[in-house]
Structure formats: structure tokens, C-alpha cells
């Protein structure tokens, strides 16, 4: 598979020059005094007809009705909730477009340095509610929709989540987009427009996870603007040939694919600034093969068009089976090539010399997925711009920044050299693989100079891992080709420096390796998902919500009110109503009744052994067995608890899927047991999504973040729960540590071994194993009950139980007893309701640090060197 961007596409208009300039922000010509020139005298009519926001209820209803009748071609008598949602969304989109257009024009005029966030995942969730809140138009739309005979709450439910991501990494990208717009930063996102997002999770009668496609685009998507005229050619498979003496290259043959842009508007909160997320769709360059068609070979005729469209057909779940998959590599190249060409074209419109590229462009690589952008930019600079290697390398290493999101060795991306070779031919020196080899050679020479004769070090630091086959280590390439590398929480960044990047720190010095602790947008994760709490906060602080939503440290003002009984009662009443809202959701979706007077205990995240959902479910079983052994009187003294789980397992991850099966079957037994069901119940909510998180998070009293120490890079749902006044039960890991630093250790429940102990404990398990019976009799009892079939066929769970009984890589046996003690401490604390509510208020009050506004400003100032560029209000 040879893949190269067609050089013709770079820096050159695909249609008329003026047209292309329009796409990237056409500027009207100005006269010598700087006044705009309107050669045909059209200024007056353009200015008069310019659209402004529809802000009054009457204009809003008018525009919704207009969309029903024109865009949807329907009428009042045949419009349902879905139709009403679509018409309302289109009308909001009209409003967004006014700001989006002004923003893009303003950025073009001011020509500030811009940042680009390249992420294979953007887990956006729903848009309508968020857009209404950010535009400040929610109450007007609520009234307008009501006048038309609909309820805004009901129509909001009609929207499908845009689930173009797996979990934390993708949601982080979405939060950062929201913050960049809210902070007036000139930032664009670049990603892929997958036809199918993350799979829909179904649970079979036996409790197995089944995967179904997520055809989220089946209904028209009102939030995207197809830019059918913004396209780039990307070529796969083919031959690269040198031409003449210059050593430059041309390509021929292979598969030509078109990258088509779809723009998604990203409104900021309390500002006109509306940024852009550009998603690429793959399309066949030339319909179908006419020769085959004429020869009667219809299947052959459409084959290549099908395979072109396949590139952006589906999001890969993060899964061991992803690595080495040719289609995934094609996705990565297709996306980085199209994005870079687009960025370059926008830069070229500035008319600046190419040497100034890093003064106008910063590119953030979200994990290693876009790392091919490094050799691709080298190729463009050397081949197309005819720069010398050193000059090109200087530009590259001043343009890119790289965020690492995991230190788990099995999650670090590597690509087999033969696969890349197939993708990128070697014969021409300027091509990617050769570029990678050249980068590597120069780098290793420098390492050799600094550490002469240290062959092991060279082998560890090489971009190429020896073996059969050889592999390209993307993290090494990303580190070498970037200006800065960052981790996503203090502990994680320290682990990056001392483990996976240790050699690189010794080579480059520590200043290249920094930390930006993750953040979350308080717009979605408080104002939108917990509107009553948002209102109470504004009332209590006595300030407009946009003020504290954009400066989250203002929440500290709540601390002065913890002793106010009335305030505490209101705070607790809101939590209670959020629990009832969740119970209602469970009732309507699963037909199950939830006890809303119990403590709500929630763990929601991707299923993975390192996140230890297993520890949680074994703890639930332990609690069940303890309750069973009690007399009815004793049980009455206990604290009723409802445990919620949600999360998807990668389709090929057998152990994670078995954990789901165990949870579902434990739930069946426990929820049906008349002795215990008033004191303990358990729910696995299928098909976890952003929208489900928005209902679960505000309802939680306690949430669990219980990864083996040193394995969870940051976690971001921990921040979301705490922002909504839920307390945290966790290990000393990721951002849990910084949350505890902020809210005070007395307000969190920590347990378990610390990171420095983990390696020794793993060593012990391997070489000096202690039977579970000795280490934790309580855990041994739980495992035996599962084996014995208390929750159905015990044999089914043996592979899962054996991961614990044998090497126990994630240290369940070591942490089990301290976990149970922590759960008991939570129970005890909950008995003192007043103190619990105070803890809850203190927790919310101290979450200012975790706003994604803080994180994005950190990137903007310390990394990208971009400036706030507010769009003036007209
Ligand atoms: C990927 C894979 C792929 C292969 C098999 C095992 C495996 C395990 C984990 C991953 C995830 C890698 C990247 C990722 O999503 N990291 C998450 O990024 C979040 C945002 O920074 C952070 O909060 C989470 O702690 C981190 O796990």
C-alpha cells in the first residue's frame, strides 16, 4: 500500500482561486486606507441582509416552523418529537452559523498563530442542549418549543450521541474543543467522520456482551456542514518514481481516495467565538471502474469504491487486535495527510515564507495515532518545498507537540515494518519509511555521541524495534519529532519521565517532558447535566453562571456556606432528585425499580483489568455474603447500597467480557434475594455513553476509581463526579491524587498499595506466590462461592478467577482487604448525613483546578504560544 498525498493538492486551488480563498476565509479587498472595497456597490444590501442571532421567542418559533416546512418538508399535523428535534436543531444551527462565520473571518483577518488538535477520537455526545446553553438561548427555545406543542426535554432525548471515541481520550478531546472556544483560542480539531461510532452494547440473556453497529448518521445530522468542495486526494498502494536528477518523486498507480471535509461548529460559552472541528470522510476518487463495468464485472466495478469508503467506515475499539490492522494504519495516514494538506493550504494563504510555519502553526498529537504527520510534513518540506533536511527538521520539531495517555506497555502503538513498507515505498529516499529511517539514523548518531558504546541504550531508543518482523515504535518517533511531550496528571507524567521515556529524558534533558493535568468542561459536566445544582450555585455565589462556569475557582465561594443548614438541605434535595431521575431512567429503559433511599455507588468506565471492575464486583459479593450471614435485625442497621456499573469491553477482550457476565449474573441473584434486596442491589446499565454518564454522574453519592496504582494515567470521570458533589473512593493513582490534594484527604476515601510497591508485589506473585487463602481469607471465600456456582455455572468464570489466583498482575489479592475497609469507612461516613453533605459541598467547591479551561490555557501558553483572539460582538 503506497500512500501519498497528491502534491497537486497542496497549496493550490482545486477550483477557482477566489473560491478556495473563500473556503479558508476570503478577505474582501481593501483600499489604501484599509477600507473594504465593494466594487459592485453591493455593500449596503449585504450588510442589511446579514443574519443575526434569533434571540426572541417569536423569531425562534418562526424559524423552527420554517425548517419543519422547508428543510423537512413536513407540516404541523405530521411532525413527531424526532421531527421537532430536527427542526429545532436546524434553527439552532442557523444561529451557530452566524457566530461561526464571524469567528472564521475574524481569525483570517487577524491571522494569529493557530493550534490544531489532531485526534482520532472526538466523543462529543449530544449537541443541541450544549449549543443552547453556550449560546444562552435555552430558555427562549424552551418557551418557543412549548408554544409549538412540544417539550424541549423530550425533543432533546431524540438526539443520538456522536460517539466517535472509546473513552477518556476521546472525551478529553471534546472537552478541549469546548474550552478552546470558550476561552477565545484559535484552535481547530481534526478527526475522522466515522460512519459507525463505537459499537452499541447489548447484553444477552446469559449476561454476555454483544456488539451491534452504531449507525449514528442514519438520521440526518444537523450539526455538520458538508464541505463537498474542500477535498484532497490521498493515494494508497502505487509506485513512487524518482524523476530526473533532482531526486524528487512522483507517484502512479494504486488507489486514489478523496478526503472530503465535514465541519462541526463548536460554540464557546458566553462568547461569540465558535471554533471548528473538521472531520474527514473517505470517498472513491472516481466512482467506479468503467472498464470492469463494461465487461459485465459489476462487483469488480464497485470494489475499489467500496474499499475507499471503508477507510472511514468504522471507529476501532481500543483493543489488542487493532495493532497491525492495515485499515487502521490507512485511517491514520488518510487523516494525517488530509489534515496537514489543509493546514498547509491555510498557512500558504497568509503569504508567509515556509520557514515561518512554526510561528503560525502548532499541532498537538493526541497520543501516537497521528504520528505519521511527522514524516509526512518532512516529505512535504523536502519534496514539495525543496528545503534542506536540517531546515525541514527544525520546522517539524518546532511544530508538533505530543501527549501520552498511557504507560501500559501493551497499549503503546507499534507498526510492523513490512506493513509500513507496503504503505510507503523505500526506493525513493524522500518517502516516509526512508524518512523514518533517516530520522532514526541521525538521532541514533546523536545518542551514540552522547553515550558512546551504549548499545543497549541505542536499541531501546531506536524508532525501529528489532525482531521478526521489525516494528516502528510510534511513541519514540513522536518523542523525537516533537518539541514537547506531556503526560496527563502529575503522577503519570512522572512515570513517563522515569519509565517509558527515561532514556529520552537522559538524552534531551527533563524540560522537554512536562505535565498538563487533564480537565473537564464544567458546561457539560455541571451546567448541562445538573441544571438544578448549577442554579443553586449561581444563587449562592450571587453571580451569573457564565462567570463561575468560565472561572471555576469561583466555586470556592461555596465553602463559606457549608454551615448554612438551608443551603445544605437544598444541596441534598438536589442530589435526591438526581437519584430519582436516574431511577426513572432505569425504570423506563430496563423496567427495574431502584431504591432511591439507598446510597448510590457508581463505577462507569471502559472495562479493563487495570481499572479493576473485578475488585468492585468481588467486593459486592463479599457484602452480599456478609448480609446473608446477618440476622434481620442486624441487617436493618446497615446502610442500604445500590451499585451501578456501566462500560464497554473491547470485543476481543475475553476477560473483560467475562467480568460483565459475572456482574450481570450476580445482579440477578442479589436483586432477587428477599433477605438482602432492601440492603443491596446491583445494576449493569448497558450501552454506556456520554448521555448515560450525564444522568449517572449527578446521581452518585460515591464513585469508584480503583485502578492498580500507577496504571490509570489520569481518569477524568473522577473529576466529573466530584464536580457534582459525589465523593470519591479510589486508589492513590492518576488524577485521584491531585483531587485529594485539592479537596483534602479527609474528603476522599483512599485505599490500596502505592505505585512504588507494585513492581515488588508483582515479583512476589511470580516467584514467591502466597495462596489467596493466606493473603485474604475473605477474598478466598468470595472466589470459592463463585466457583461453586452461587451465580450460575461456576466453571464459566474460572478463567477470570484464575487471573487472580495465579499471577494476579493487577494485585486484587493485595488490595482486597484494604478495599473492604474503605467501603466500610464510606458506610460509616454516610450515616452522618449532615457531615456527608458538607463533604459533598467541599468537594465541589475545590474542583476549580480541574476545569478544561485551565488545561487548555496551559497548552496555549506553555506549549503552543497562541493568544486569545476574541471575536468582537457586532
Ligand atoms: C489502549 C489499549 C489498546 C490496546 C490494549 C490495551 C489498551 C489499554 C488502554 C488503552 C488506552 C490508551 C489511551 C487512553 O485512552 N488513555 C486514557 O486517556 C485519558 C485521557 O487522558 C485518561 O484520563 C485515562 O486515564 C487514560 O487511560
636 is catalytic: no
Q: What band does 21 get if pLDDT is binned at 50, 70 and 90?
A: very low
Q: How far apart are CA 767 and CA 5, in angstroms?
A: 53
Count of other CB atoms within 10 angstroms of residue 215: 12
Catalytic-residue membership of 606: yes
pLDDT cut 90: percent of the chain above it: 84
Each residue of 120-154: pLDDT tens digit? 999 999 999 999 999 999 999 999 999 999 999 99
Q: Round to whole Å and give the CA distance between 438 and 454.
A: 20
Write the DSSP assignment of 109-148 as a string of letters: HH---EEEEE-S-EEEE--HHHHHHHHT-HHHHHHHHHHT
Could you tell me which residues come within 8 angstroms of residue 846 by beta carbon, excluding any fewer than 6 positions away?
555, 556, 742, 743, 744
805 in active site: no
Q: Is 605 a catalytic residue?
A: yes
The CB of 488 under 6 Å from ligand 1? The reply is: yes
The b/e string for 611-643 (b: 16+ C-beta within 10 A; e otherwise) is: bbbbbbbbbbbbbbebbeeeeeeebeebebbbb
Query: What does the alpha-carbon distance between residue 494 and residue 844 come to, in Å, rounded to a whole number?
Result: 27
The catalytic residue among 716, 803, 813, 844 is 716
**Overall average pLDDT of the 104-116 stretch:** 96
Cα angle at 646 between 644 and 649, to 5 degrees? Answer: 145
Q: Name the residue of 117, 164, 168 to mutate for ligand 1: max ligand atoms within 8 A of Cβ.
A: 168
Q: Is the pLDDT of residue 2 over 70?
A: no
Residues with Cβ within 8 Å of residue 674, at least 6 apart in sequence? none
More confident residue, 682 or 245: 682
Supply the residue whose CA is at minimum distance from atom 20 of ligand 1: 169
The conformation of residue 710, written as its DSSP 8-state character, comes to: T
Indicate the pLDDT class of residue 196, thresholds 50, 70 and 90. very high
Q: What is the pLDDT of residue 428?
A: 54
Instruction: Sketch the domain layout of the chain as residue ranges.
Output: 2-110, 117-125+161-482, 575-846
Q: What's the pLDDT tens digit per position in 565-614? A: 999 999 999 999 999 999 999 999 999 999 999 999 999 999 999 999 99
Which residue has the CA at smallest separation from atom 13 of ligand 1? 405
CATH code assigned to 575-846:
3.40.50.2000
Q: Which residues contact 351 (CB under 8 A, 6 or more apart)?
A: none
Residue of 307 and 849 predicted with greater confidence:
849
The rounded Cα 587 to chain-centroid distance in angstroms is: 29
829 contacts 835 by C-beta, under 8 angstroms: yes
Q: Ligand 1 center to residue 404 CA distance, Å?
A: 9
Q: Does this chain's domain 117-125+161-482 share its CATH topology with 575-846?
A: yes
Catalytic residue among 497, 523, 579, 720: 720
Bridge partners for 5 per DSSP: 234
Confidence of residue 8 (pLDDT cuts 50, 70, 90): very low
Question: Is ligand 1 within 6 A of the CB of residue 718?
Answer: no
Q: Give the pLDDT confidence of 702-759 residue by residue, as tens digits.
A: 999 999 999 999 999 999 999 999 999 999 999 999 999 999 999 999 999 999 999 9
Q: Indicate whether 458 pLDDT > 70.
A: yes
Assign domain 117-125+161-482 to a CATH class: alpha beta
> Per the residue annotation, which of 193, 431, 550, 611 is the catalytic one?
611
Output the pLDDT for position 569. 98
The verdict on whether 637 is a catalytic residue reads: no
- Residue that the C-alpha cell 470459592 belongs to: 784
The Cα 727–Cα 747 span in angstroms is: 7
**Res 244 pLDDT > 90:** no
pLDDT at 9: 43
Q: H-helix or E-strand containing 721? A: helix 717-723
611 is catalytic: yes
User: How high is the pLDDT of residue 60?
Assistant: 96
Residues 6+ apart with CB under 8 A from 719: 518, 519, 520, 525, 735, 739, 847, 850
Rg (Cα) of the chain, in Å, rounded?
28
Amino acid at each position: 500500500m503506497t500512500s501519498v498525498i497528491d502534491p497537486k493538492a497542496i497549496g493550490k486551488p482545486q477550483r477557482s482561486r477566489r473560491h478556495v480563498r473563500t473556503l479558508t476565509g476570503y478577505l474582501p479587498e481593501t483600499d489604501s486606507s484599509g477600507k473594504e472595497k465593494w466594487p459592485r456597490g453591493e455593500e449596503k444590501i449585504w450588510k442589511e441582509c446579514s443574519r443575526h442571532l434569533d434571540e426572541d421567542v417569536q423569531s425562534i418559533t418562526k424559524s423552527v416552523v420554517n425548517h419543519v416546512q422547508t428543510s423537512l418538508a413536513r407540516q404541523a399535523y405530521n411532525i413527531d418529537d424526532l421531527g421537532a428535534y430536527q427542526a429545532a436543531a436546524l434553527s439552532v444551527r442557523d444561529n451557530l452559523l452566524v457566530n461561526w462565520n464571524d469567528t472564521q473571518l475574524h481569525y483570517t483577518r487577524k491571522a494569529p498563530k493557530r493550534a490544531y488538535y489532531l485526534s482520532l477520537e472526538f466523543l462529543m455526545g449530544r449537541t443541541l442542549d450544549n449549543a443552547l446553553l453556550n449560546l444562552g438561548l435555552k430558555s427562549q427555545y424552551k418557551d418557543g418549543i412549548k408554544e409549538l406543542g412540544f417539550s424541549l426535554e423530550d425533543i432533546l432525548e431524540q438526539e443520538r450521541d456522536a460517539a466517535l471515541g472509546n473513552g477518556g481520550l476521546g472525551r478529553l478531546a471534546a472537552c478541549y474543543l469546548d474550552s478552546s472556544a470558550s476561552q477565545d483560542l484559535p484552535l481547530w480539531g481534526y478527526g475522522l467522520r466515522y460512519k459507525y461510532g463505537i459499537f452499541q452494547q447489548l447484553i444477552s440473556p446469559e449476561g454476555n456482551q454483544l456488539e451491534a453497529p452504531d449507525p449514528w448518521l442514519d438520521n440526518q445530522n444537523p450539526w455538520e456542514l458538508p464541505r463537498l468542495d474542500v477535498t484532497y486526494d490521498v493515494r494508497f498502494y502505487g509506485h513512487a518514481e524518482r524523476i530526473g536528477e533532482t531526486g524528487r518523486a512522483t507517484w502512479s498507480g494504486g488507489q486514489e481516495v478523496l478526503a472530503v471535509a465535514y465541519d462541526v461548529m463548536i460554540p464557546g460559552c458566553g462568547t461569540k467565538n465558535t471554533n471548528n472541528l473538521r472531520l474527514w470522510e473517505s470517498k472513491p476518487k472516481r466512482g467506479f471502474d468503467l472498464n470492469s463495468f463494461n465487461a459485465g464485472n459489476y462487483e469488480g466495478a464497485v470494489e475499489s469504491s467500496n474499499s475507499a469508503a471503508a477507510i472511514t467506515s468504522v471507529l476501532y475499539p481500543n483493543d489488542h487486535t487493532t495493532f497491525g490492522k492495515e485499515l487502521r494504519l490507512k485511517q491514520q495516514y488518510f487523516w494525517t495527510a488530509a489534515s496537514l494538506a489543509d493546514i498547509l493550504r491555510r498557512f500558504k494563504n497568509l503569504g508567509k515564507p515556509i520557514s515561518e510555519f512554526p510561528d503560525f502553526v502548532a499541532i498537538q498529537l493526541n497520543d501516537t495515532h497521528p504520528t505519521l504527520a511527522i514524516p509526512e510534513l518532512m516529505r512535504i518540506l523536502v519534496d514539495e518545498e525543496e528545503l534542506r533536511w536540517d531546515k525541514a527538521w527544525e520546522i517539524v520539531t518546532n511544530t508538533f507537540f505530543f501527549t501520552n495517555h498511557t504507560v501500559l506497555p501493551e497499549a503503546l502503538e507499534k507498526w510492523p515494518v513490512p506493513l509500513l513498507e507496503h504503505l510507503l515505498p523505500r526506493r525513493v529516499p524522500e518517502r516516509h519509511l526512508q524518512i523514518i529511517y533517516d530520522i532514526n539514523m541521525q538521532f541514533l548518531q546523536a545518542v551514540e555521541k552522547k553515550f558512546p558504546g551504549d548499545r543497549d541504550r541505542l536499541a531501546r531508543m531506536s524508532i525501529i524495534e528489532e525482531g521478526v518482523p521489525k516494528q516502528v515504535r510510534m511513541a519514540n518517533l513522536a518523542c523525537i519529532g516533537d518539541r514537547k511531550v506531556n503526560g496527563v496528571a502529575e503522577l503519570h507524567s512522572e512515570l513517563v519521565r522515569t519509565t517509558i521515556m527515561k532514556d529520552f529524558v537522559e538524552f534531551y534533558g527533563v524540560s522537554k517532558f512536562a505535565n498538563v493535568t487533564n480537565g473537564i468542561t464544567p458546561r457539560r459536566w455541571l451546567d448541562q447535566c445538573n441544571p438544578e445544582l448549577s442554579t443553586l450555585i449561581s444563587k449562592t455565589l450571587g453571580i451569573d453562571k457564565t462567570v463561575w462556569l468560565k472561572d471555576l475557582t469561583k466555586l470556592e465561594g461555596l465553602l463559606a456556606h457549608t454551615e448554612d443548614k438551608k443551603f445544605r438541605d437544598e444541596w441534598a434535595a438536589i442530589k435526591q432528585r438526581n437519584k430519582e431521575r436516574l431511577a426513572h431512567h432505569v425504570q423506563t429503559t430496563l423496567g427495574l425499580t431502584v431504591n432511591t433511599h439507598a446510597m448510590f455507588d457508581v463505577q462507569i468506565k471502559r472495562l479493563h483489568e487495570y481499572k479493576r471492575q473485578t475488585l468492585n464486583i468481588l467486593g459486592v459479593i463479599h457484602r452480599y455474603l456478609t448480609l446473608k450471614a446477618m440476622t434481620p435485625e442486624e441487617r436493618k442497621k446497615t446502610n442500604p447500597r445500590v451499585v451501578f456499573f456501566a462500560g464497554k469491553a473491547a470485543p476481543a477482550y475475553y476477560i473483560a467480557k467475562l467480568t460483565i457476565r459475572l456482574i450481570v449474573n450476580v445482579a440477578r441473584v442479589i436483586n432477587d434475594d428477599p433477605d438482602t434486596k432492601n440492603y443491596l442491589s446491583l445494576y449493569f446499565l448497558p450501552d454506556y455513553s456520554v448521555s448515560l454518564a450525564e444522568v449517572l454522574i449527578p446521581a452518585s453519592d460515591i464513585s469508584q476509581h480503583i485502578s492498580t496504582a500507577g496504571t490509570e494515567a489520569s481518569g477524568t470521570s473522577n473529576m466529573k463526579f466530584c464536580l457534582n458533589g459525589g465523593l470519591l473512593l479510589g486508589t492513590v493513582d492518576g488524577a485521584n491524587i491531585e483531587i485529594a490534594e485539592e479537596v483534602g484527604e479527609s474528603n476522599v476515601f483512599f485505599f490500596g498499595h502505592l505505585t512504588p510497591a507494585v513492581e515488588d508485589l508483582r515479583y512476589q506473585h511470580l516467584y514467591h506466590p502466597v495462596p489467596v487463602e493466606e493473603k485474604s481469607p475473605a477474598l478466598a471465600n468470595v472466589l470459592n462461592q463463585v466457583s461453586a456456582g452461587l451465580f450460575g455455572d461456576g466453571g464459566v468464570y474460572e478463567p477470570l478467577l484464575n487471573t487472580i489466583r495465579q499471577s494476579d498482575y493487577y494485585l486484587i489479592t493485595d488490595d482486597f482487604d484494604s478495599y473492604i475497609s474503605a467501603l466500610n469507612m464510606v458506610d460509616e461516613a454516610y450515616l452522618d448525613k449532615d457531615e456527608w453533605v458538607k463533604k459533598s459541598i467541599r468537594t465541589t467547591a475545590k474542583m476549580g483546578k480541574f476545569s478544561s479551561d485551565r488545561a487548555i490555557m496551559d497548552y496555549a501558553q506553555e506549549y503552543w504560544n497562541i493568544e486569545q483572539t476574541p471575536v468582537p460582538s457586532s
